[in-house]
Amino acid sequence: MTDTPPPPRRTRLTFHGPLSEARADRIVRRLTRTGPATVLDIGCGWGELTLRILGTEAGASTTGVGIDIDADDLARGRRNAEARGLADRMEFVRESAVGTTRGPADLVLCLGASQALSDAAPPLHLTVALGELRRLVAPGGRVLLGEGFWQRTPTEAELSRMWPGAHAGEHPDLAGLVDAAVAAGFRPEWIETADEDEWDEFESAYQADAEEWLAAHSGHPLAAETRERLDRHRASRLAYRGVLGLAYLTLIPVA
C-alpha cells in the first residue's frame, strides 16, 4: 500500500470555482467584446478562463499573465497553455499578488482570490482588494471579480460548521458587495451569481477524485489524513450550501 501514489488533486475540476461551461462562454464573449490586449489573472490557479480568452478569435493577439503561489496549479496551467498553442502568449508566475506591479492591464480577473491582494483580515480585505483592482486595470478596461457574499445571514450553528473563525461580518450581502465596488471607483456593467447547480458541480468535483482514491485505499498511510480533510470540507460545504453565494461582477473603472 505504501507504494500506491497519494490521492490525486483537483483533476475533476475544469474551473477552480462554481462556474458552468455556459456561464464561462457568456463571460468570455462579454470580456473579449472590447478587444483587450493584456490580461492579468490574480490568484489564477491554472488560469482556465484566461486561456479561453486567449484562445478566441477576438483574443488572438492578447497576452496574459497569471499570478499564484500554488506551484502545482501553475504547472497545470503551463501544460494546458502548451497543449493549446498559447505558451508564447501566457505567462504563469509564482509570486504573491500583494502590491504587485504587474499592471495595469486591459482586463483583470480575480476569481475567488481577493484575499491574494491583501494581508488584511475579512471583511477589510475586500476594501483593500477593490482598491488594488482599481489600480491594476487600465483606463477603459474591465475587471471580472468573483467574490463571496451572504445569500442570507448565517446562523451561529451554521457558522460553527463552516471554516475556522467564520463569522457573519466576513462577507457582505450582494447589494453591499456591489456598493463596495461602486465606492472603489467602478460601475457594474454586469451582475450575476453562481447557481446551486454550479456550486454542487464544483464542490463535488473538488472532492471526487480523492473520495474515489480513499474508497479504494482505506489502509494507505495517508488514508486517515485524507479522510479527515474530506469530511471536514464536506461538512463545511453542507453548512454554507444555500447561505454563501458567489457573485461574478464585470466592473468598469470610472474615468
Confidence of residue 2 (pLDDT cuts 50, 70, 90): low
Between CA 42 and CA 46 the distance in angstroms is: 11
On whether residue 107 sits in a domain, the answer given is yes
On whether residue 232 sits in a domain, the answer given is no
Between CA 172 and CA 177 the distance in angstroms is: 6
As for how many domains the chain has, the answer is 1
On whether residue 11 sits in a domain, the answer given is no
On whether residue 177 sits in a domain, the answer given is yes
On whether residue 119 sits in a domain, the answer given is yes
Cis peptide before 104 (omega within 30 of 0): yes
User: How far, CA to CA in Å, does 169 sit from each of 121, 173, 182, 218?
Assistant: 11, 10, 20, 39
According to DSSP, residue 69 is labeled S
pLDDT in tens, 196-217: 999 999 999 999 999 999 999 9
pLDDT in tens, 136-171: 999 999 999 999 999 999 999 999 999 999 999 999
pLDDT in tens, 180-199: 999 999 999 999 999 999 99
Average pLDDT for 93-102: 98
Q: Centre a 10 Å sphere on the Cβ of residue 46 and count the other Cβ atoms it contains.
A: 27
Identity of the amino acid at 157: A
Identity of the amino acid at 170: E
Q: Which domain holds residue 67?
A: 21-195+244-253
**CATH, residue 65:** 3.40.50.150
On whether residue 190 sits in a domain, the answer given is yes
Confidence of residue 5 (pLDDT cuts 50, 70, 90): confident
On whether residue 122 sits in a domain, the answer given is yes
According to DSSP, residue 207 is labeled H
191 HSE (CA, 13 A, CB side): 14
> Does an H or E element contain 180, and which?
helix 174-183
On whether residue 205 sits in a domain, the answer given is no
